[in-house]
Structure 1
Amino acid sequence: MKRLLLIITIMTVILAGCSGQNNNDPATKGNENVDKQEQVKLTFAVNEQPQLPIEFWEIPVKKFMESHPNVTIEIVSQPSSNISSRDHLKTLLATGKFPDVMVMTSPGDFINSGSLLAFDEADLDYIADTSVGKFEGKNYVVPYKKQVGGVFYNKDMFEEMGLQEPENWEEFIALNEAIKAKGTTPISLGVKDGWPQLITMSLLLSTDLLTDDPDWGKKRNAGEVAFADDNVVKVAEKYKKLTQSFTDESRSSISYTQMIEAFYNEQTAMYIMGSWTQADDIRLEHDFEVGFFPMPNDNDANTIPVWLNEGLAISADTKHPEVAKAFVEFFVTDPEWAAQFLQSEMLFPVTKEEVEYDKSDLRMEIEEKMKGYKQVENFYDMTGDAALLPGLQSFFDKMTVRMATDPNIDVKKELELMDKEWEKANNNLNR
């Protein structure tokens, strides 16, 4: 049944994306900034993923070009699935092929080289909160979605085992112990791809560190705190215990796809991930209900980490900045396309205007629970002046793999190494 719903959803998106426009279509915004006689060509670098193929990104591009007949937009994507959009953009910049508009997740890698265009406040009057993600008071990325992170679990399995959602860290550990005692792997995790494990560490840092000190990232970049401080070491020890004690021993050889499939095949009771995985709940066949709860900290489970780091950016060297801005605004505000885009992964809107779309039961459950949560940024993808310095995300990736797989690892020494990496990155910025 869920596969049928997914097929219907995809067909609805594609057909709607190809439908004609109405007279009030926001795609026409920006026409006043474009000389109708001038032929304009833009390149648009996207983040192609299995759930977001090129055909999906083509929908807004085609619709925008229909209302701007003198504009041509060429889509550029990663050459292979094992290259991230961030690394692809670095290559394009180095080879003189930096796109006019791009999906951006790590602006800090590009701002200091002067590669991105800064938006004026007036450019972003459609965004609900423009204070998020500012670098030295300026916006370089227009967010197009909000995502949340937490623990997804098998409600039927919990009920059979007499388990409840935990309300603090102690209860969460006891929950894992109880599931393990029943002969089931508590948490589905695979580190083969080098990134799923960082979600767990990042959520722990968000709920333990940023709940009490939301400015911790800014303080680190100002040299006022360190990664090897006791409160961060404590979180790393939690991460090591969680990943090494309650996940499959073969986690090193398990891919992201395999870890998700293990959960939906009922080989595990939980997995820790961002809300984009709701697409898997629709895509993968299963006959149990999936639930969600936040990553608990020592005192409660009332903090929800959110991602606001991903959006659209514009090259500082684009020959057509006004057209590029018009396309960005259309992408984020067009009601029809915004609904399709958000529905693809059951995302949360970031615009002043609410975006309505058909939501799954899981999506509605998360939305309802969020009303009582404190929202903090996801640690790994902190934005603006709090963002990890260029290069530190790559170190974090490798460090969290080591912490999840090496039983003899000294987490404090690892964090001391990360402080040294920060010093290198900071020195590079200040040259």
Structure 2
Amino acid sequence: MRNQTSPRGRLRMIALAAGAVLALAGCSAGSLGSSGGGGGGVNLTWVLDSNASTMKAAESVAAAFKAQNPDITVDLESRPSGSEGDNIVKTRLATGDMPDLFLYNSGSLFQAIGPVQNLVPVTDEPWVGTLEENFKRVVTADGNVFGAPFGSQMTGAILYNKRIYAELGLQIPKTWSEFMANNAAVKAAGRVPVIQTYGDTYTSQLFVLGDFHNVAASEPDFAERYTAGQAKFATSPAALKGWQHLEELHDLGYYNEDFPTAKMEEGMRKLGDGEGVHYPMLTNGITTLAVASPEGAKDIGIFPIPGDDPAKNGLTVWSPSAVYIPKTTEGAQLDAAKKLQAFIASPAGCAAYAQGVRPNGPFAVDGCELPDDVLPAVRDFQSFVDASAFSPALEFLSPIKGPALEQITVEVGSGIRPAADGAALYDEDVRKQALQLGLPGWD
């Protein structure tokens, strides 16, 4: 679920005198200042994906770091997102051509870049003890920690319009039956119960992926058995329910009429304007919400995709990406890179990130606080994290995620393919990937 790519090679120089204050958001590619560190300074290159929000946050972090470390200059180098960016990262690591630091995924994709062979472990760094435990686990390989979290956590859940809930006298549902009763009331009131935006196919996956907290609550060993080829979506009653939810909501006519072609931005506008009341989505879309419906965004909250047991109600959470140091970084460059990594994983680093981009969820570092101006949905997300009412997404517990998931969920959510058939087809997609990965138990 990644953004489309943009041309690579864009280089942004962050080189500010200590204490200087610049408006970085409007800067173009090229030099943004002079080093101010003298002839003995260190120049670091930090590679990130070319997403505008990522670059803006990195600019803010690099500027704050420069203010504290005037002898270290940080250059930001962009790379494409998506599969093209993945290939660039793997190639540069394999050829020893990766610059001093780089931003990349945590979880299963992190495991695929050979962390033990290619990255500098940071297990003994003091800041590692402040990391949120789930994040620490998804940047660990062979008993060593390798990454510092960059940005906030996100969840796949139900964004909902609080204003419409108040008008209709609805309560936040904690079970699927309560959620369906709310949907019936919303439709009776002449509004769209559930927004879907299959024009952006990745958004079709949320009822399956975001339901994993409920799967884990029902089958705590599902991820382990799934990785071993023993648990399947089509044969696990708990894992099948996400597929059944897609089918049920479609068959009841609860989706917006333009769901086959609508894009995520339009879905956010519908939600903020109250045209639709529920939107299963990742919280990284909150940034789009704030643009698509600036006033309506203040009315939007979040609750977990409901399961069967109200006592086990909780969110499915995605860990942030991480900043890693390749083993080819040595000497003074390595010392400086470790300083930047430590700064990123500190309250000061989190604050600098939030000055560049408003967070869409809690940070994964103890002591990092959300700024006062985050939207209500982000505060709702934080409350579940504070209550430990959440589970990691499946892709952070298993290396397997079939590439055809979003196409299959579009078919099920569009009424083209029954839920059971969709789940079985995805199981076959997963089997092919597991065989490619050479995982045991899949012969």
TM-score range, shorter chain: 0.7 to 0.9
Distance 1:415 1:260, change over 3 A: same
After TM superposition, list the pairs within 5 Å mapping 1:20-169 onto structure 2. Answer: 20=19, 40-50=42-52, 52=53, 54-79=55-80, 83-84=81-82, 87-94=84-91, 96=95, 97-105=97-105, 106-111=109-114, 114-122=117-125, 124-129=128-133, 131-133=136-138, 134-144=140-150, 145-169=152-176
Contact kept? 1:18, 1:63, Cα under 8 Å: no
Aligned partners of 1:312 and 1:197: how far apart in 2?
Answer: 29
After TM superposition, list the pairs within 5 Å mapping 1:130-209 onto structure 2. Answer: 131-133=136-138, 134-144=140-150, 145-204=152-211, 206-209=212-215
Aligned partners of 2:87 and 2:179: how far apart in 1?
Answer: 40
The match for 2:300 is 290
What TM-score does the superposition give when structure 2 sets the normalisation length? 0.76
Distance 1:322 1:401, change over 3 A: farther
The match for 1:25 is none
The match for 2:12 is none
Aligned partners of 2:84 and 2:144: how far apart in 1?
Answer: 24
SS of alignment partner, residue 91 of structure 1: helix
SS of alignment partner, residue 225 of structure 1: coil
Moved more, 277-286 or 302-311: 277-286
Structure 2 unpaired stretches of 5+: 1-15, 21-36
Moved more, 125-134 or 413-422: 125-134
Cα deviation 1:13-57 (Å, max 9, x = unaligned): xxxx99818xxxxxxxxxxxxx9976544322224435x163432
Distance 1:41 1:168, change over 3 A: same
Distance 1:215 1:314, change over 3 A: farther
Aligned partners of 1:100 and 1:191: how far apart in 2?
Answer: 39
Q: Would you say how many aligned residue pairs link Structure 1 and Structure 2?
A: 389
Aligned partners of 1:423 and 1:128: how far apart in 2?
Answer: 29
Per-residue deviation, 1:333: 0.8
State the AA in 2 paired with 1:265. D
Per-residue deviation, 1:267: 1.9
Distance 1:212 1:396, change over 3 A: same
Distance 1:291 1:299, change over 3 A: same
Q: Quick check: 1:355 aligned with 2:392? A: no
The match for 1:388 is 399
After TM superposition, list the pairs within 5 Å mapping 1:223-242 onto structure 2. Answer: 223-231=229-237, 232-242=239-249
The match for 1:339 is 351
Q: Quick check: 1:404 aligned with 2:396? A: no
Which of 272, 291, 299 pairs up with 2:309?
A: 299
Cα deviation 1:308-342 (Å, max 9, x = unaligned): 2422222233343332222111112152x412424
Aligned CA RMSD, in angstroms, stands at 3.4
Aligned partners of 1:349 and 1:236: how far apart in 2?
Answer: 30
Aligned partners of 2:306 and 2:248: how far apart in 1?
Answer: 14
Contact kept? 2:101, 2:323, Cα under 8 Å: yes
The match for 2:6 is none
What TM-score does the superposition give when structure 1 sets the normalisation length? 0.78
Contact kept? 1:185, 1:269, Cα under 8 Å: yes
The share of aligned pairs that are identical, in percent, is: 17
Greater RCO (Cα-Cα under 8 Å, separation 6 or more): 1
Contact kept? 2:194, 2:255, Cα under 8 Å: yes
Q: Quick check: 1:257 aligned with 2:269? A: no
Which of 321, 339, 348 pairs up with 1:326?
A: 339
The match for 1:220 is 226
Cα deviation 1:335-355 (Å, max 9, x = unaligned): 2x4124246124313223343
